[in-house]
Amino acid sequence: MTKVKSFADLRMMKEGLENKLNLREKSNHPESLVQIRVAMATCGIASGAKTIMEYFIDELEKRNIEAIVTQTGCMGYCYAEPTIEVTLPNQDAVVFGFVTEKKANEIIEKYIKNNELVDGIIPVNYQSIEN
């Protein structure tokens, strides 16, 4: 692997990336991309949310899926961490619990690519009990 260290390299990489990005930005709005939010609170981090976030960033790129992967706070499903929220273009967000790398792979292959539901969805109407 080539040594990368300076901002000069970063600027060079930027030029290469720009063409690709312009295409994306002109043809799309953020809503038309797959959006994934990984719950990154104490409970999530302790159960490996960071690894899952990195998995999604790397795998979606490898599989050529345009997506935005970002972080969110605790969604209240601490028992089911790591949890992620996936929003496909023009669809309601779906929350998945107990996301291991194996599960993440299944979510990408079945839900994100083919819009097939997979096990592990936490119903949105689930409400935590108020005091």
Partner 1 sequence: MKELSLHILDILQNSITAQANLIEIEVFENKMKNVYSIGIKDNGKGMSEEILSHVTDPYCTSRTTRKVGLGIPLFKQNAERSEGSFTINSVLGKGTVLKAIFQHNNIDRPMLGDIAGVIVLTAAANENIRFIFTHTTETGEYIFDTDEIKEALGGMSINQPQVIRYLKEMIRENLTEINYSK
Chain contacts with partner 1 (rule: CB under 8 A)? 3-5, 7, 9-11, 13-14, 17-18, 21, 40-43, 45-46, 50, 53-54, 57-58, 60-61, 68-71, 73-76, 78, 128, 131
The upper half-sphere exposure of residue 10, i.e. CA atoms within 13 Å in the direction of its Cβ, equals: 3
**CB of residue 90 to partner 1, shortest distance in Å:** 22
Which of 45/121 has CB closer to partner 1?
45
Whole-angstrom distance, CA of residue 76 vs CA of residue 80: 9
Which of 9/116 has CB closer to partner 1?
9
Q: How far is CA 126 from CA 77, 83, 121, in A?
A: 10, 14, 11
Structure tokens that stand for 70 in this block: 């970002």
**CB of residue 86 to partner 1, shortest distance in Å:** 16
Which of 54/116 has CB closer to partner 1?
54
**CB of residue 47 to partner 1, shortest distance in Å:** 11
- CA quadruple 68, 70, 75, 81: dihedral, nearest 10: 100
Whole-angstrom distance, CA of residue 85 vs CA of residue 129: 21
**CB of residue 66 to partner 1, shortest distance in Å:** 10
3-state class (DSSP) for residue 64 = coil
**CB of residue 16 to partner 1, shortest distance in Å:** 8
Which of 53/108 has CB closer to partner 1?
53
